[in-house]
Structure formats: C-alpha cells, structure tokens
Structure 1
Amino acid sequence: MGAILATVTLKVLYHDKVDIGVTVTQYLSSTSDLEALVWEFIITSILMFTICGAATDHRGSKDLTGVAMGIAV
C-alpha cells in the first residue's frame, strides 16, 4: 500500500512536469493487471510465511532466520 500511495502522490504532485514511468513497476504487455496482482499476492504470502515461521517458531534455529528470509526474497 505504501508503494502505491507514494506513486500516486508523485503522479499528483508532478502531473505533467516529469515522466515518472521509471518509478512504476512495468510488466510485459501480455500480463494482465489481475495476473500481476495474483502473483504479487502469492509471492508476498510466501515471504510472510517464511518470516513468521523462521522468526517466531520456537522449534526453529534462530541462527538461520536471516538465511531463510534471504532465500525467500
């Protein structure tokens, strides 16, 4: 949500002055908006499950928490 709000804010502030296309994530033209949203949801879910599982589970090794999060990213 923060990234979306920041991009919209830039668009409103610099409406015709600057091309802010480089700040917007662009995907292939064959990808629909819904498909991109679904993939973003899946990837973010995997990252959050990894963070929650590695950082808060008492059975896991706290020494490898950073490695697990790095691999997920």
Structure 2
Amino acid sequence: MALLNLDAGGERLGLCAHRPCRRVFADTTRGGRQSCCSPRCANTEAVRRHRNRHMIRPTIVANRCSLRIRSRTERRDI
C-alpha cells in the first residue's frame, strides 16, 4: 500500500465500485474518473446498472371491470 501511495502521489487512490470487490486502486486515467480496479469489475458493474435500468416492472391496468397485470413492454389495446 505504501509503494502504491508513493507511485500515484496519493491523491488519486480509490476503492473499487463493484460491490463484492473492495480492492484499492490508483487512478491513472487522464480525467481521473476511474471507478473500478479492473476492466472485469467495470464490465460487471455496467451490466448490473443496465439490467436495473431496463428491468420490466409490471403495472396494473383496469379494463372493463376486470383487473389484470400488464408489463410496460406489452402493447396497449385500449
């Protein structure tokens, strides 16, 4: 850890954003926006965010005195 701190200057150290991985890394990118320790962790975290964004959430629709559950991707017939 001390060698890593000396090489990076100490100002751009961070914890990996991927929840199970808690590694410390030195951000060597030009803009200083690195959030994961490796491309594998970055990809896993991006897939998790994508799946959360595009998750199908059911909505309840009342249709002529009957209730049924319809997903958002289902076509509306009303």
Report which of the two structures shows the higher radius of gyration computed on alpha carbons: 2
TM-score (norm 1): 0.32
Between Structure 1 and Structure 2, which shows a larger proportion of helix residues? 1
Higher relative contact order (CA 8 A, sep 6+): 1
